Structure 1
């Protein structure tokens, strides 16, 4: 049982505007059930992807790969990239929209030693490199393609509101990382001064 307390986010939260959800997810707590226990981390960095966004997987319509993006908000969209990494996204808005929020970084709260093993991190002096990127998050939480389509209102992977929120002054925003299109959109949101945020600032 986790020591982190709070209320689980319900479906209605995920049905809201994608940019709003991307900002509101900062400070929320991500739970991942693993071998009977939970790996837990605070979300400190996100990126928003809308249906009319040329950087989005949904921009050219529904495919077998991105089908989950078009589901009702509140499901997990996991994709494989660069032939070696997984990235996880929270599907947002109404069914058929094709919107999602990428989880870019988390601050570990529970299950740190397990995350270190899953990441095969040898140098613990570089602990802030553990989960400071979307592929690192998935590796540390053992999130793979098999988790694509998981209901975030279920018990395997879910998000909790612990009551912590950030003021506008505490939230940074920038261009998104690792994209070629939509560079003008400042749809990357992160907690300022968090050492767990990815390096691309």
Structure 2
């Protein structure tokens, strides 16, 4: 049985302890200005849309900013992580090992860095487009693992800082390919990526159609918590959340 932690308050998590799967209430109150450890479990069962592709999220990880040694924000703002210190509701996309495009949702109030890494999900829209990117792999693996999920969604470094539109619960899950308007301008300091080992020189995020959308879960899910995957710092913090028994989950169940 997986170990589970309990959120004790903003940015604070209790030590791991055994517990049953947590019932997750309906996410009508989804508020991205809350800390990542509160937002993360509410994203389970939600659908992230990028253009014509939709993924129902089944596994996420919370990163808490300067007090979390595993976070990209632990050392303060850098050209790569500066978007995490900006307003919530934006996308933080970076390259892992130079090849994997990892997708994060920025949380917490402006100036307080935290983000949720999207680790796995089920394709619910645009499967043909996903297969053109991912090839002939089993359906459960199309968006299993953060790099695979980023590839399935067609994310790239120009999505760094893109606005995320949070839709009303029950909104239709359908492609957004026509009749789109431009994003509002990005806040000062969030328009250009500087030189960084994980981002190319001079990549600029231009105003673009709001293809990033989030449709909150309309039904409760049962989820578990445990340590995050593939990190060496603050590795025991129970900040990974996944839907109990879902076959698309990428890490330890």
| Category of TM-score, reference length = shorter chain | 0.7 to 0.9
- How far, CA to CA, are the matches of 1:17 and 1:61 in structure 2? 17
The correspondence for 2:213, drawn from 132, 150, 158, is 158
Larger Rg: 2
Question: Which ranges of structure 2 fall in alignment gaps of 5 or more residues?
Answer: 1-27, 166-182, 184-209
Question: Which ranges of structure 1 fall in alignment gaps of 5 or more residues?
Answer: 1-8
- How far, CA to CA, are the matches of 2:252 and 2:245 in structure 1? 13
The correspondence for 2:60, drawn from 35, 38, 46, is 46
Higher helix residue share:
1
CA shift for structure 1 position 117? 1.0
Q: Which residue of 2 aligns with 1:195?
A: 247
Q: Do 2:35 and 2:64's aligned partners in 1 also have CA atoms closer than 8 Å?
A: no
- How far, CA to CA, are the matches of 1:139 and 1:14 in structure 2? 24
Q: CA RMSD in A?
A: 1.7
Q: Which residue of 1 aligns with 2:156?
A: 144
SS at match of 2:238: coil
SS at match of 1:181: coil
Correspondences of 1:35-74 after superposition (within 5 Å): 38-51=52-65, 52-74=67-89
Q: After superposition, what is the alpha-carbon deviation per residue over 1:40-62, rounded to whole angstroms, capped at 9, x for unaligned?
A: 11111100000110000000110
CA shift for structure 1 position 175? 0.5
Q: Do 1:28 and 1:164's aligned partners in 2 also have CA atoms closer than 8 Å?
A: no
- How far, CA to CA, are the matches of 2:32 and 2:246 in structure 1? 25
Count of paired positions: 183
CA shift for structure 1 position 162? 4.3
Q: Which residue of 1 aligns with 2:16?
A: none
SS at match of 1:13: coil
- How far, CA to CA, are the matches of 1:186 and 1:46 in structure 2? 12
Q: 1:162 to 1:191 in 2, by over 3 A?
A: closer
Q: Do 2:43 and 2:217's aligned partners in 1 also have CA atoms closer than 8 Å?
A: no
- How far, CA to CA, are the matches of 2:251 and 2:236 in structure 1? 19
SS at match of 1:14: coil
Give the TM-score normalised by the residue count of structure 1.
Answer: 0.86
- How far, CA to CA, are the matches of 1:118 and 1:93 in structure 2? 32
The correspondence for 1:103, drawn from 99, 115, 118, is 118
SS at match of 2:31: helix
The alignment status of 1:28 with 2:46, answered yes or no, reads yes
Give the TM-score normalised by the residue count of structure 2.
Answer: 0.69
